[in-house]
Each structure stands twice: as structure tokens, then as C-alpha cells.
Amino acid sequence: MTLTAVLPGGSATIGLLGGGQLGRMTGMAARSLGYDVQVLDPDPQCPARAIASRTITARFDDADAAVRLARECDVVTLEIEQIAPPVLAAVARETRLCPNAEAVIVVQDRIRQRTWLDRHGFPIGAFRIARSAAECAAAVIAMDRCILKAPHGGYDGRGQVRVATTGEAERGWESLGSRPVVVEQFLDLELELSVMIARRADGEARAFPPAVNHHEQGVLDWSVCPGQLPPAVGDEAVRIGHAIADALDIVGVIAIELFLVRDGRLLVNELAPRPHNTYHHTERGCSTSQFEQFVRAICGLPLGSVNVVRPAAIANLLGDLWREGEQLDFGRALAVPEVRLHLYGKTSARPGRKMGHLSALGGTTEEARQRVLEARRLLAR
Ligand code: ATP
Ligand code: MG
């Protein structure tokens, strides 16, 4: 399908469902291009409020509020998957919604997403859908160590329980609310990687080079690009990414998180049809950032080059770094060569909350990674 482009430079307005850091950085890229930006988020103090000409404070199940946003916008997109399906439908009736509602509905529910990946033949690890404590226990007997994952609202490792015994599985089921869960076999990971595909309505698509990612306790800690990978692994990851973007008919961007298992298998972990934490380094290291690429894709502009200009790395800054009443000495981090600071404007620092990130460039991926980790170490003192 070809859609008329939403051209910048006039009064064209982009609407964002969700005003977190991803919305904020997308909005900044949109503003650089000359678009106006409006945001809907439940939190009146959301990070994207700073770059929006209008912020509607409403929940993600408030269709009336979403329609008020959509009426003012040439295109509406989202930075979070957890938008109620009737809201997506209401927006799509009013204006152009990218990505399409069906794709978001597949991704927003872990059970549906996992089943979809399986049905379409994409490589994933062993899993079961469990609908009772007994089914969770049976899954552990069949698959050994497992992770129980709640279908909704999980991010940064929340809504997940790692279990190794039938007793833990039963207690884990209860702790997740005694509702259906995905039970995944716990995989012995060699490394984690991700792919980001940008795709236009006419099907033209481009993949950023694969990123290699490191998680601590289920939360992204650092990410580098280009990731140091066997070429065959990177190529296969990109091929899988394109196939998923095509099958979901994504207009915009989609991140595909993958596992390289020690036995050599390359498996899809999960999908995110929006900008992604593991591609923040594209703002520094690539000709086009993920945020600009996203805006280009939803507005029907030519996709930008995905060339790596310089190897780049990012490290997340979690709320744990902030101590009550103390100002962090960002000067220490910024003194490290080629390091930049990205703060999201969040008013309160809670443990585990993503407050910002540091980015660094280097002559090599490893130099960039060392620089960004050194900058964060200096901050933690
Ligand atoms: P995020 O929103 O940060 O991407 P999430 O809460 O959606 O995370 P997952 O991506 O499912 O959660 O899992 C978070 C991390 O936990 C993974 O990146 C990986 O490090 C680890 N993990 C998840 N599933 C498995 C598994 N089956 N085997 C081994 N490790 C896993
Ligand atoms: Mg994940």
C-alpha cells in the first residue's frame, strides 16, 4: 500500500500514545524535522510533556481522549504496546494509525505474541501456556528450569518469576495473580542481540546493524552497535527481523530481541513495535537515529541510511544511582571522551526506574563500551 506522505515544514502534527522516554526522544526527532507533536499519557508529568505542544492526561483505555488527540494529528503512533484495543480502533477511524492495530494487539499480549511467533514458524525456545498452578508445575517437570511470564504489563523483567522446582512454580503462579502465564524454558545464553527494522507502508524496509545487549536481573544494562557477532548470526537475525516486520505489516519500526543459545540456536525472545532501549546508540553511531527513522517511516518519507558512522554504546542509568537529597556529579561522566548524557526528565528516582542513559563513541565497539561503562562507574561514586 502507498500512502500520501505527511510532509514536514507546514502544520503537520504527530500524535504519540505514551509520553515516556521513547515518546520524548521520538518527539525530539520529529521536532527537528519540523513536525508538531502532541502526546497522550496518564501521567501529567510524563517525560514527553517537555517536547509536546499539547499533552492530554488520560489512561490508555480512554477512547474519547484518544479521539481528541487523533482529531488534531495527521498520524498517530505509540511508544508503548499496552494501549487498549478499542482505543486503537477509535484512533484508526479518525486518522492514520501506525503501526496497525492488529500488529499491536498481537504483540501486547505475551500469550498471543508467543503463539503467533510459533504459528508463523519463527524460531523460539520451548514454552507452554499454563492456566493453573498444576500446569506450571507440570511445565517445570517437562522443561526443567523455567521462567513464568505474565501476559500483560511486564517490562524490565517485571511480571516474571524464575523457577526450578514444582513448589516454586506453584508459588510463582500465585505471585503473578493466578492467571494464565507463558512458561518458557530457561535457556543457557551465549549472548543477547536485537535487530531494528524500519518499514514504510509500501513495504520498503531497512535494518540497523544488530546490537549486542547485556541484561542485569532482567533489565537492560548496556548495549553496543555494531555488535561483535559471527556474520552468519547477524545475517540470520536480520532475515528473521524482516520476515516478522513483513508478516505483521509494520509501518514504523519494530525491535526483535533475540537469544543466541550456547548450543548455537538463534531464537526470538520478544517483539516491540516501537523504538527500543537497545537502539538508543543509533543517535550517536548511525547516519540516522532510530527515532528519526521511525518518524520517517510513519510519515512516508524516504528511510534514512543505516550506516554505522562510528561504533557506539549506551549504558542505562537506573534510579538506584540516585541517593536521597544528593545531586549526581554528571561532570565526572561527561569528562570521559566522546560521552554524552541523556536524561529523561523524570521527577522521581525509584530503584529500577530508567532515569536516563549515557552514550559513548569509540574507535571500536569495545572502546565505546569501555568508555560508557567507565563514565557510569565515575557517576556511581
Ligand atoms: P524488557 O521490557 O526489558 O525487554 P521484559 O520484561 O519484557 O524485558 P524479557 O525480555 O522477556 O522481559 O526478559 C528479560 C530478560 O530476562 C531477557 O533479556 C533475558 O536476559 C532474560 N530472559 C528472559 N527469558 C529468558 C529465557 N527463556 N531464558 C534465559 N533468560 C531469559
Ligand atoms: Mg525484553
Would you identify the CATH topology of the domain 189-379? D-amino Acid Aminotransferase; Chain A, domain 1 (3.30.470)
Report the pLDDT value the prediction gives residue 254, as an integer from 0 to 100: 98
Q: What CATH class is the domain 13-97? A: alpha beta
Q: Do domains 13-97 and 126-185 have the same CATH topology?
A: no
CA of 265, nearest ligand number: 1
CA 208 to centroid of ligand 1, rounded, Å: 21
Query: What are the boundaries of each domain within the chain?
Result: 13-97, 126-185, 189-379
CATH architecture of the domain with range 126-185: 2-Layer Sandwich (3.30)
pLDDT at site 326: 80
**Atom of ligand 1 lying closest to residue 186 CA:** 28
DSSP assignment string, 243-298: HHHHHTT-SEEEEEEEEEETTS-EEEEEEESS--GGGTTHHHHBSS-HHHHHHHHH
Q: Is the CB of 155 under 6 A from ligand 1?
A: yes
Q: Which of the listed residues 269, 277, 316, 357 should we mutate to test ligand 1's pocket, taking the one with most ligand atoms within 8 A of CB?
A: 269
**Cα 59 to averaged position of ligand 1 atoms, centre (Å):** 26
Output the CA 239–ligand 1 centroid distance in Å: 22
Per DSSP, what are the bridge partners of residue 318?
A: 354
- Ligand 1, atom 3, lies closest to the CA of 156
Residue nearest (by alpha carbon) to ligand 1 atom 27: 186
Pocket test for ligand 1, best of 148, 176, 259 (most atoms within 8 A of CB): 259
Mean pLDDT per block of 10 residues along the chain (381 residues) reads: 86 97 98 98 97 98 98 98 98 98 98 98 98 97 97 81 97 95 98 98 98 95 97 98 98 98 98 98 98 98 98 97 87 98 94 96 98 96 71
Distance 212 CA to ligand 1 centre (A): 14
Question: What pLDDT, on the 0 to 100 scale, is given for residue 1?
Answer: 66
What is the distance in A from the centroid of ligand 1 to the CA of 169? 18
pLDDT at 345: 96
Nearest ligand to the CA of 156 is: 1
Are the beta carbons of 3 and 201 closer than 8 angstroms?
Answer: yes
**How many Å apart are CA 318 and CA 344, to the nearest integer?**
11
d(Cα 43, Cα 57) in Å, to the nearest integer? 6
Q: How far is the CA of 151 from the centre of ligand 1 (A)?
A: 13
Instruction: Give the pTM.
Output: 0.97
